[in-house]
Amino acid sequence: MWIPQFSFSIRKKMLVAFLGLALVPLLILGNFFIGKIEKVLQGQVKRSLQVEAVTAASAIEDYLNGVKRDVRSLARFLQRSLQDGMEADQWSLVQNEFLAAIMVEKDYYQLRFISIDGYEQLRINNVDGQPFLVPDSQLQYKGDRYYVQEAFQYAAGKTYVSHLDLNIEFGQIEVPNNLVVRIATPIADKAGEILGLVVVNVFGEKLFSTLEQLVSVDEARVLLLNQGRQFVKMENKFGQSHFTCAEMSELNHTDTEFSEFLRPDDGVQISTSGTDIQAITPVSAGSDRLWYLTISYPQKHLYTQIYQLKQTFIFSLIFIAIIVSGLAIAAARTFSLPIHRLSKFANQVAGGHFDVRSDIRSRDELGQLSHALNEMAQAQKESHRELTHWNALLKDEVELKVADLRRTQEEADNAKILMDTLEKQLLQANRLSSLGMLSATVAHEIGNPLAGLRIKLQMLQRRKELDPDLQTDIAKMLKLVDRLGAFIGHLRGNLKPQQNFEKEGTDINQVLRDLAFILCEEADRMEIDLQLHLPDAPFLVCSKAQHLHQIFMNLILNALQACEVGGQVDVFVDTIEDLIEVRVLDNGCGLPEDLIDQLFEPLVTSKSYGTGLGLAIVKQLVDELRGEVSLKDRSQVGVEAIIVFPRGGSECAGAL
């Protein structure tokens, strides 16, 4: 079979060679590094989106938890106040308490008390930020509403959260449509008989009050969906946040796409939908309520750097191809004639004509080649000796190169170690940046309600007719509010170490006794046996009580949360020479093996509902107090946390 033979001139070959040598490696390496960079940037975008989703879900859960605390507080007040044959001034006191509560929390749409027969006995409406006491003639029957029936199934003191659904007034869906979530808790008399419900209505869009920064980008969307088939959507339109509240049947398929709802332990799912990238995460609204939060951004906004990098690479290739083509043509013209003459000369020498000489005398590589070929005919007899000599020189050169390669390998290993260190520092910086945003969110969301709570507690404390035991409880609660306020101030500093804080002598045993006021109630609620084994004598530590309070609150709460119903948590305090040792032991699930080396780093947690801040705060505060903290699995089951502090003395300002 005849195969056509193609002949290429030196100009074409040089053009192809130049283009190949210049563009092929550049194209391969460029695509490789662009792919790597694109993968890294996409990973960073997805991780940032995951952090935003987790932070947003935590903000909604914290908001709901704040409402739950308010509902339980009102329920306890009403439980103490309700009695048979209440007179008008006594009922007026209850009404004033509800009015004061809605004035403090202006996000609340309604506050109600519904009796066991399903009728509203008291209702406060929030009308444009002003509380309005609904007359008795306008109170409604709510016994047929699903959330009333479900809430009455709860035990007294337990908190119920309804679906996020459309508000109904006088049997009709309110127009314009408003999605409302209802938080309720039953109250009972001393005999344990249910008397009624305290119910707080919160608008669905109010749950987004801390998330508006997520839609600062055009075409960004945030959706909150619930099991009741309703949703709230917040999106950026013309630079303003716009809310949509409706049934999920009206949800556009481009807003969110996922085949099935998540479970609480599934974490954040990242997916792409058309030109958008979105994150879906579960939100725990209550013990039997699971909502779903979706954050969607346009890919063109998130991947702008990737698109720009690809465009720059393409334009660079085109420019280089033009330059290389011109250089190749010019080089071919310069080299083609001398190479042809050298080829003729080489053929003559190869034929045995060693007396022939090349007449090329140019002062470049071709001239040097011509001179070398001229000398070749005369030096052929000495070739063997010279080759032997060159072989020895080459051997020495190889040994030098091998030594250089070994040094280069050592330098490469050192560079890799440095790169690993820098990568860890970058990861830590990213976590601290996310932690700063979370700290600001938590401080903002807790600060305002906390100020209102403190004012209300002070007002209650001034009442002369209060029971002495209640006065004592209020004083303890005020002290806890002040500690929480100091903790918020610590958060606003983004966990900045406080090396120069004023020292004071604090009894570590007294701090643990004060914590028992909160933690024993929490342990009873979780049905866990909490025991404090404290000596009578005071053990002083050079620290503010607030810092010790934060340390032990986080460690003991972690121990309680690790235990199942019927579990046990023990706290021991002892001295070892000039040190004070505190041990917190639980019989819970133990330490997660994959996170043992990262437990004290920010944003690292094994809990599906946690934020990964507790142990990071503990580690920082203990380091500031020149102490040590460690976690280890117990021999049989559970975890033992060991904290060691230097024992304080007269050098502490204000020592006991």
pLDDT digits (tens, 9 = 90+) for 155-214: 888 899 888 777 777 767 766 667 788 899 999 888 888 889 999 988 777 777 667 667
Instruction: Give the model's pLDDT for residue 333.
Output: 67
Instruction: Give the model's pLDDT for residue 29.
Output: 78
**Chunked in runs of 10, what are the mean pLDDT values of the chain (656 residues)?**
58 71 76 76 77 83 87 87 76 85 80 91 85 88 89 89 78 71 90 89 75 69 75 73 69 53 69 77 79 78 67 78 74 70 74 73 73 71 63 84 83 78 60 56 60 66 74 77 66 49 79 84 87 89 86 89 89 89 90 74 66 78 89 84 85 55
Instruction: Give the model's pLDDT for residue 594.
Output: 73
DSSP code per residue over 328-359: HHHHHHHHHHHHHHHHHHHHHHHTT-TT----
How far is it, in rounded angstroms, from Cα 5 to Cα 100?
98
Instruction: Give the model's pLDDT for residue 644.
Output: 93
Instruction: Give the model's pLDDT for residue 570.
Output: 92
User: Which residues does 123 contact at the CB level (< 8 Å), separation at least 6?
Assistant: 110, 111, 112, 113, 133, 134, 139
Instruction: Give the model's pLDDT for residue 499.
Output: 47
Question: Which token pair is 203?
Answer: 């608008």
User: Which residues does 448 contact at the CB level (< 8 Å), separation at least 6?
Assistant: none
H or E stretch at 327: helix 304-350
How far is it, in rounded angstroms, from Cα 396 to Cα 172?
97
How far is it, in rounded angstroms, from Cα 113 to Cα 123?
7
- Order of strands, sheet of 276-286, starting from the edge strand that comes earlier in the sequence: 240-247, 230-237, 221-225, 289-298, 276-286, 269-273
Q: At what angle do helices 545-562 and 508-525 cross, to 10 degrees?
A: 30
CB atoms within 10 A of CB 215: 22
- Order of strands, sheet of 568-576, starting from the edge strand that comes earlier in the sequence: 529-533, 568-576, 579-586, 639-646, 628-633
Domains of the chain and CATH, by start: 8-302 (3.30.450.20), 381-495 (1.20.58), 497-646 (3.30.565.10)
436: three-class secondary structure by DSSP: helix
CB atoms within 10 A of CB 185: 25
Please, are residues 471 and 459 in contact by the beta-carbon 8 Å criterion? no
HSE toward the beta carbon, residue 519, CA cutoff 13 A? 26
Please, are residues 307 and 298 in contact by the beta-carbon 8 Å criterion? no
pLDDT, tens digit, 9 for 90 and up, residues 386-423: 666 777 888 888 888 888 888 888 887 887 887 776 66
Question: Which token pair is 347?
Answer: 């053929």
How far is it, in rounded angstroms, from Cα 207 to Cα 369?
82
Helix and strand totals (H; E) in the chain: 11, 22
Please, are residues 563 and 602 in contact by the beta-carbon 8 Å criterion? no
Cα distance between the two ends of the chain: 108
Instruction: Give the model's pLDDT for residue 74.
Output: 87
Nearest residue to 256 via CA among 237, 272, 235: 272
481: three-class secondary structure by DSSP: helix
How far is it, in rounded angstroms, from Cα 544 to Cα 529?
28
Question: Which token pair is 204?
Answer: 């669905």
